[in-house]
A and B are shown apart, each in its own frame.
Chain A
Amino acid sequence: MTDNYEAVLLQFLLAGGFAGVTLLISVLLGQRARRNKLKDSAYECGMLPVGEGQSRFSVKFYLVAMLFVLFDIEVVFFYPWAVVFRDLMEDAETKMFFWSMLSFAGILFVAYLYALKKGALDWKPRH
């Protein structure tokens, strides 16, 4: 089993080695660039850069992403539940099984109502 992977290992070593050697050469031979404001600007000729390097984006994206993560991850509990659902529902002793998941979904629903009412999913400007 190990034999098959020797080629791959060799490839990794070669790739890493090449990258490492090239970087080393450039450090050894290249002249250390002196940084100044002009050199750091986008072009040494042409227009001067205007505004910020990073564009600002609305915090609403972040809010929706966060809510998505939270609600999305809860699905993870539904899968195992669904897998054993039929087996457990046949047994009278484990009938609670259904209601416990319903209460879980209920709490999530309350959280959803809260987010909705607080305007977390509201995209129109409120003022």
Chain B
Amino acid sequence: MEVTLNHFLFVSGLLFAIGLAGVLVRRNVIVIFMCLELMLSAANLSLVAFSRFNLTESGGPDYNAQVFLFFIITVAAAEVAVGLAIIVALYRAKQTTDVTQINSMKN
């Protein structure tokens, strides 16, 4: 069986859907955060797949996409560092990481 672009896109779509579903149904902020990372990974996978299958005139993969991937990974790392710091601070203040408990601002 030949592995084609569609296979990669299918897996990446699946990853994205799992991540999105996790963000919507999970209640623990940390798990939600992991699901968000999953969504970014899904995008990374499609980028690499597109880069591998959309060849440029020279016949090589389009490295633009792979460089983009580096940037996404870096940004994700920065986001995690900041995000976890905020979650830790929230845990110290409220002793919970449950999103349903984060609701003190309703009018």
Contact = CB atoms under 8 A, between A and B. Distances in A.
B73 interface: yes
Contact of A62 (B70, B73, B78, B88): B88
Given A1-B1, A2-B1, A66-B81, A73 B88 contact: no
Contacts of B81: 66, 69-70
A93 B16 CA distance: 42
B6 interface: no
A45 interface: no
Contacts of A66: 81, 84-85
Contacts, number: 26
Nearest to A74: B74
Contact of A76 (B70, B78, B80): B70
B70 A70 contact: no
Contacts of A59: 88
Contact of B70 (A1, A2, A77): A77
Nearest to A71: B77
A74 to B, nearest CB: 7
A60 to B, nearest CB: 12
B30 to A, nearest CB: 13
A80 interface: yes
B1 A73 contact: no
Ranked nearest first, the 7 interchain pairs of A and B with the lowest CB-CB distance are A73-B77, A66-B81, A76-B70, A2-B1, A73-B74, A69-B77, A1-B1
Interface of A: 1-2, 59, 62, 66, 69-70, 73-74, 76-77, 80
14 contacts: A1-B1, A2-B1, A59-B88, A62-B84, A62-B88, A66-B84, A69-B81, A70-B77, A70-B78, A73-B74, A73-B77, A76-B70, A77-B74, A80-B70
